[in-house]
Chains A and B, each alone.
Chain A
Amino acid sequence: MQVLVALIAGLIFGLGLVVSGMSNPSKVLNFLDIFGSFDASLLFVMAGAVLISFLGYRLVLRQPHPLFAKEFPSCPSGLIDWRLILGALIFGVGWGLVGFCPGPALASVTFGGLSALVFVCAMLIGLMVAKLVSRVL
């Protein structure tokens, strides 16, 4: 059941990325280009996503436990450390370079040609390197 729910959630998530235009890196770059060809659409993606998840979480987290699992995750710690800041900073540079973040990159591997594939492979390598580095630090 967990697998089926996750598959459906993934499908809806990807559909949301495609419908909203987030899966198009040009649209993302235009959102980030506030002093150029600015396209404010991404603000509306955020608004829709946060509105529904904010309200939905309120409903869902009132239950004693998730439908198909034992417990809800604990509340975020609120600890703001150098890893969070440095990681977000580095991610932002990569995001701004070509307009891909992890979700849209994965959602576009079937129609995004070689560019999407190259990006996803590099992203996986970056992820593995970070895991290795984290183990040392």
Chain B
Amino acid sequence: MLTDFTPWMSFLGGGLIGLSAVILMGGLGRIAGVSGILGGLFTVDLSGALWRLAFLAGLVLSPFLYRKVTGELPDFAVTNDVFYLVAAGLLVGFGTSIGSGCTSGHGVCGIARLSKRSLVAVAVFMVSAMVTVFIMRHVI
């Protein structure tokens, strides 16, 4: 599916993501990395479970807020091939846990803190994702 180039809305939305990261750091001293927040629920120490669940609840419920304000559902199109969905989900869950972060943790918060680890991680997952898309769309 072709999508429109939306520099302004994307920049604005990105700004909101940044604002959320600042609120979480200023309020709780926490990194707004979704895989990290989610992963922290699967440990023995559950002392931080409440704020983690609250953040994830906000994330899951946010489209309702969007709908309330704009009156429409977000654009959305994804494959319905169960094989690819399961494979992708397993890889994303496994990879972000081993690599300690995803697009938000490394890509936003890490880069904002000028972390060398995060810069390397972002470069690696961007290239590996681009190669994957190239193979999926232009080779297979």
Check: A136 CB closer than 8 A to any chain B CB.
Answer: no
Pairwise interchain contact A39-B3, C-beta atoms closer than 8 A: yes
Pairwise interchain contact B26-A10, C-beta atoms closer than 8 A: no
Pairwise interchain contact A122-B86, C-beta atoms closer than 8 A: yes
In angstroms, Cα B126 to Cα A88, docked, is 9
In angstroms, Cα B54 to Cα A103, docked, is 14
When C-beta atoms are compared, the residue in chain A nearest to B99 turns out to be: A87
In angstroms, Cα B90 to Cα A100, docked, is 12
Interface string of A93-137 (1 = CB under 8 A from B): 111111111110111111111111011111111111111011000
Q: Smallest distance from the beta carbon of B100 to chain A beta carbons, Å?
A: 7
Q: Smallest distance from the beta carbon of B48 to chain A beta carbons, Å?
A: 9
In angstroms, Cα B116 to Cα A77, docked, is 9
Name which of A26, A30, A49, A114 has the most chain B CB atoms within 10 A of its CB: A49
Pairwise interchain contact A86-B99, C-beta atoms closer than 8 A: yes
Specify which chain B residues have a CB less than 8 angstroms from the CB of A121 in the assembled complex: 89
Pairwise interchain contact A97-B73, C-beta atoms closer than 8 A: no
Partner of B89, one of A25, A26, A126: A126
Specify which chain A residues have a CB less than 8 angstroms from the CB of B50 in the assembled complex: 2-3, 6
Partner of B108, one of A35, A46, A61, A78: A46
Pairwise interchain contact A17-B128, C-beta atoms closer than 8 A: no
Specify which chain B residues have a CB less than 8 angstroms from the CB of A76 in the assembled complex: 110, 113, 115-118
Q: Smallest distance from the beta carbon of A10 to chain B beta carbons, Å?
A: 2
- In the complex with contacts A19-B16, A44-B14, A123-B89 CB distance below 8 A: yes
When C-beta atoms are compared, the residue in chain A nearest to B76 turns out to be: A24
Interface string of B104-117 (1 = CB under 8 A from A): 10111111110111
Pairwise interchain contact B18-A41, C-beta atoms closer than 8 A: no
Q: Smallest distance from the beta carbon of B78 to chain A beta carbons, Å?
A: 4
Q: Show the binding face of B for A, using Cβ within 8 Å.
A: 1-32, 34-35, 38-39, 42-43, 50-52, 54-66, 73-80, 82, 84-100, 102-104, 106-113, 115-118, 120-122, 124-134, 136-138
Q: Show the binding face of A for B, using Cβ within 8 Å.
A: 1-27, 29-30, 32-37, 39-42, 44-54, 56-57, 59-61, 63, 65-73, 75-80, 83-103, 105-116, 118-131, 133-134
A–B pairs, 9, beta carbons within 8 Å: A17-B13, A17-B17, A26-B75, A39-B5, A52-B18, A94-B91, A97-B132, A99-B78, A100-B78
| List of 5 A-B pairs having minimum Cβ-Cβ separation, nearest first | A87-B99, A10-B58, A20-B13, A126-B93, A122-B89
